Amino acid sequence: MKKRDIKDMDANVLKDSESKIREELMRLRLKKGFEQLENPKRIKVLKRNLARILTKAKLLEKGL
């Protein structure tokens, strides 16, 4: 997910994306404990996207 994609999202879409990313992160972390991941970098990318989404949501909340 690119920054420009997140920039165009509204609060509801951000909330949906946040929950989807959190679920995928949880699944990947569990999978990592039991077996080797195909793409371990995916966890890092998801965490970064989650931070971007949370930042944008906070800005929308504050009205900036």
Q: Which two structure tokens, joined as six digits, stand for 42?
A: 């995916």
Beta carbons of 46 and 28 less than 8 angstroms apart: yes
| Residues 5-61: tens digit of each pLDDT | 888 888 999 999 999 999 999 999 999 999 998 999 999 999 999 999 999 999 999
CA 64 to CA 57: how far, in whole Å? Answer: 10
Beta carbons of 57 and 14 less than 8 angstroms apart: yes
Question: By three-state DSSP, how is residue 38 classified?
Answer: coil
pTM: 0.87
